[in-house]
Amino acid sequence: MYEGVSFIPLTWTDTFYLAPEFSLAAAFLLLIVLDLLLPKRVSRLAIGWLSLAGILVSLLFVVLRMLDMNAGGASAEAIQLLGNSYRIDDFSSLLKIVFLTGTALILLLALGSAREEEAITEKAEYFYLLLPALIGAMMMASSGNLVTLYIGLELLSLTSYVLVGMKRKSLLSAEAAFKYVVTGGISSAMVLFGMSYIYGITGSVDLGAIAEALPRALNDFKALAYVGFFFMIAGFGIKIAAAPFHAWAPDVYQGAPTPVAAFLAVIAKGAALAAIFRIIYSTTLIQVMGEGAEVFQDIFFTLLVLAAAAMLVGTLTALRQKNAKRLLALSGVANAGYMLVPIGISITVVHSSNFSEFVYYLIAYLFMTIGAFAVLTVVSRASGHEELKGFAGMYYRAPWTAVAMVILVLSLAGLPVSGGFFGKLFILLGAASAKAYWLVAIMVLSSVISYYFYFGIIRQMFMRSGNDESEIRISDGTGIVIWICVAATIALGLFPGPLMEWIDAVFSIKADLMVGYAR
């Protein structure tokens, strides 16, 4: 059994490794004080821009650390902090870059739309509360043991509950916040319950030690191992809104402010997927061909079943959806299924690019989803509602914005040439190389089904005249977000190879995910 390690305090050198997280925490504390001291009219906009500056500084620290670790083009060994509780590796650094970039775009979108959000009374909090939520997501990506991971999960969750309920004058927002608190609490309880079983049978919360102890533990506690892993998968399934754990998502996205809905759809979902990836690959991957292999094969198969259910339920449920924000929520359900596929098909002799497939699609999903939410912000402001009919005749009122939405929708549908197309293609080819042909068929079927409701948006913009002739005004911040997302979506579609090659070059399963880790 694992006997534990003595507490290892942080040194001054370690604090430099944690500069991205510490800079965000310092910015958060500073902004709280400024919110109290500055006049309200001054503080709202200033705090928003300072929050964005804090995120960009943190992003710079992550990029510099990653470049330093990979100097010379070789994948670096992970930096272990606090007795391997916190890891600085290429896995976490790549995901932190994704989370920081996505949150920066979401904050810029919030800056562009906050003035029109009369239901949000505390606009300064609306900006700086994104920072601790982002720290939680970054902790989940870097966690080396279950306790640290759970702390990050709770920091992300608790802050998100407040952000969802920021529209205090809206009954929908209050209902969304209540539902999110209840389902989030259930999710956290299930994750913690599963973690307690894994700790009970292995005697450790360290992911590397768990991987070592699991084969012996299965001799006496095989049923408890199933309970532990399945409860964690179910808990994280709620967080990523994968069917059948997705029922909360449409209601919560509809009631939350649009930038917050985008944050839940991309950052919160990505952090939970990163946690699943690290837990599963750090503790079970090396055991797939060894003693007790059937248990670990069942875990990977469960992830594939969850992915298939999410793809089918998400697309089929969206067919009859008339509310644009709820439609994007159900699109997120289906996309959670796509991103679970690289995790569930495991590493095989002929297929080892799981992480690059996952990250590539997460990046593509980030840009096309945030861009779609940004366009929805513009349309809902002009029409006064979030129904699909608000897009009617949009081409005649804002042709360039309509063209931008077409590009984003084509990427969401997975049509060439777009980031979404190559993201789905890489995942599909990976599943085919692993001989998961049934999953390939479900991916193709769900993609074809999704064409109907995605093209419904295009039909509204180009083939419906609409009764609302109100002007569509686009703020500078929102316009920048839309066109950054469109440009990135096109770039990912035109040049998919360089990004995939770079991810493969810097990422190492053994170094970054502790496979075969020995104490």
Mean pLDDT of 139-164: 94
Q: What would the mean pLDDT of 38-65 be, rounded to a whole number?
A: 87
Nearest to 254 by CA among 155, 311, 180, 364: 180
- The shares of helix, strand and coil residues in the chain, as percent rounded to the nearest 5, are 75, 5, 20
Q: Determine the 3-state secondary structure of 246 from DSSP.
A: coil
Identify whether 115 is part of a domain. Answer: yes
- Residue among 378, 369, 412 nearest 269 (CA): 369
Report the pLDDT value the prediction gives residue 518, as an integer from 0 to 100: 38
- Taking the C-alpha atoms of residue 476 and residue 470, their distance in angstroms, rounded to an integer, is 19
DSSP string, 461-486: HHH---S--------HHHHHHHHHHH
> How does the average pLDDT of the chain come out, rounded?
88
Residue 42 confidence (pLDDT) above 80: no
Q: How do residues 370-391 score in pLDDT, each as one tens digit?
A: 999 999 999 988 888 889 988 9
* pLDDT of 3: 45
Q: Taking Cα atoms as reference points, which of 384, 335, 391 lies closest to residue 364?
A: 335
**Do the domain assignments include residue 1?**
no
Q: What is the total count of domains within the chain?
A: 1
Tokens of 32: 């709280």
Q: pLDDT for 355-367, tens place per residue?
A: 999 999 999 999 9
Residue 9 included in any domain: no
Say yes or no to pLDDT of 488 above 70: yes
Structural domain for 137, as ranges: 15-513
Q: For 493-508, what is each residue's pLDDT tens digit? A: 999 989 998 988 888 7
- Residue 226 clears pLDDT 80, i.e. is over it: yes
Residue 384 tokens read as 């006064």
The three state secondary structure string of 283-347 is: HCHHHCCCCCHHHHHHHHHHHHHHHHHHHHHHHHHHCCCCEHHHHHHHHHHHHHHHHHHHHHCCC
Q: Would 6 be classed as within a structural domain?
A: no
Q: How confident is the model at residue 404 (pLDDT cuts 50, 70, 90)?
A: very high
Over 70: is that where the pLDDT of 476 sits?
Answer: yes
Residue 338 within a domain:
yes
CA 161 – CA 327 distance, rounded (Å): 21
Classify residue 518: in a domain, yes or no: no
